[in-house]
Amino acid sequence: METIAQAVGIRNGVTIMPNEPTDLQTVTGLLDRIPLSYGGTAATPGLWSDDRTVLIGEVAAAIVTFQTVNNRPTIDGVVDPGGGTISLMNQLATALPVTATVEQEDENSQLWVVAEPSSLPGNSPLQPLEISPQLTRKLVRVSGTSIKWFGVVVPRNEAGEILGDAPHIFFTPSPGQGGYQDGTYDPFTQWMPLWDKYTSCIGSQLVASTTPQILVIPFYKNAQSGNLGSFLTNWQEVVSAVLTAAIDSIDPLFLRDKFEFDKIFSSSFSNGIVTLQNFSTQGVGVAAMTQMAFDLDGQASGSTWRPSVGVSYRNTAAPQGINPSGSDWYVGGRFAQIRPSYSGTTDHNLCPLLLLHGLTEFGQ
């Protein structure tokens, strides 16, 4: 039975309860597992605002709906610790089965000019390195969790044999920055350029690094950037199902049963660090399983969070000229030789091209 420490919601539409973040997550997670017919939000899981004030209002309204549909003796828009509302929520919440299906796939190679890993230390211009490995890319549709679409890149050797024993989970910046809106998320057709861009850019560096990792990109809605919903609790089952489906579509005899793992790597670019932080700090078991996390200029979005085990790349000058400094690597003003390959692109937007260094130096 899931519990909360303090009350959640707005009592009688007037008094705002403490609404501790972990308690809000518990209540939204329960609601997302309760069918609409019982007053829950399982029909639209994870569709919660990342603005705290708006979220509290949404949750209070959802609680009123739940209490009304279930004829609760008190309909006040609040879930109290140990109260009848949370007890009933636990009774009605169901563990939805997680299923994964490959919806689209291709074999692809694209030229990327990335930062030569050996040029990262110090303060000299970053040296360009051309890579264009062959990629095996999948688009996987998932049910039973709050995130519906995932991109996968499965590394393979020249003989076509599958490589990789650990998931590398990458979080994109907020999709809305690229014009991808939540209203077009479910069919995903209009989101395919986002899948193409990041499976290619990040996937090419992962494959070129020869690290034993398989790329997994959760394509989350804008509304989920600050709260990934039920994915925070069932992510291990989801990632296993996603990679099982992806690998079975290549070689159905490769896996004995399903893809299993005991460690992960993670990374994010720009304000994707907000979602990476949400995943790393609130995901069940994430911190203990994270081998290394890579922050690709999340500071540009104003974030001051650092992965507890990880490295950060900062598009600023090295303090006192010392680079790296601890787990921070500084690249400000050093992209002159890479920029000509990406006309009109800012140095910040070139920071994803630094991941090859992280994978090469810290990805084993």
User: Is 355 a domain residue?
Assistant: yes
Three-state secondary structure call for residue 329: strand
User: Is 180 a domain residue?
Assistant: yes
Give yes or no: residues 286 and 227 share one domain: yes
Give yes or no: residues 83 and 130 share one domain: no
The residue from 92, 114, 134 where one domain ends is 92
Q: Is 341 left (phi over 0), alpha (psi -120 to 50) or beta?
A: alpha
CA distances from 179 to 78, 95, 142, 185, 346 (A): 36, 33, 23, 12, 18
Give yes or no: residues 72 and 108 share one domain: no
State residue 346's pLDDT score. 96
Give yes or no: residues 51 and 122 share one domain: no
> pLDDT-derived band of residue 213, with 50, 70 and 90 as boundaries?
very high
Cis preceding linkage at 324, omega within 30: yes
Give yes or no: residues 231 and 278 share one domain: yes
Question: 75, 68 in Cβ contact below 8 A?
Answer: yes
Which of 91-100, 153-162, 205-214 is predicted most confidently? Answer: 205-214
Which of 33-47, 92-106, 265-279 is predicted most confidently? Answer: 265-279
Three-state secondary structure call for residue 70: coil
Give yes or no: residues 148 and 215 share one domain: yes
State residue 225's pLDDT score. 85
> pLDDT-derived band of residue 180, with 50, 70 and 90 as boundaries?
very high
Beta strands in 55-98 (DSSP E): 78-79
Domain span at residue 164?
99-362
Asked if the model's pLDDT at residue 147 lies above 80, the reply is yes
Question: 27, 42 in Cβ contact below 8 A?
Answer: no
Give yes or no: residues 59 and 162 share one domain: no
Domain total in the chain: 2
| 50-73 residue pLDDT tens | 899 999 999 999 999 999 999 999
Give yes or no: residues 31 and 59 share one domain: yes
The residue from 75, 92, 109 where one domain ends is 92
User: Is 1 a domain residue?
Assistant: no
Give yes or no: residues 114 and 81 share one domain: no
Give yes or no: residues 142 and 210 share one domain: yes
User: Is 289 a domain residue?
Assistant: yes
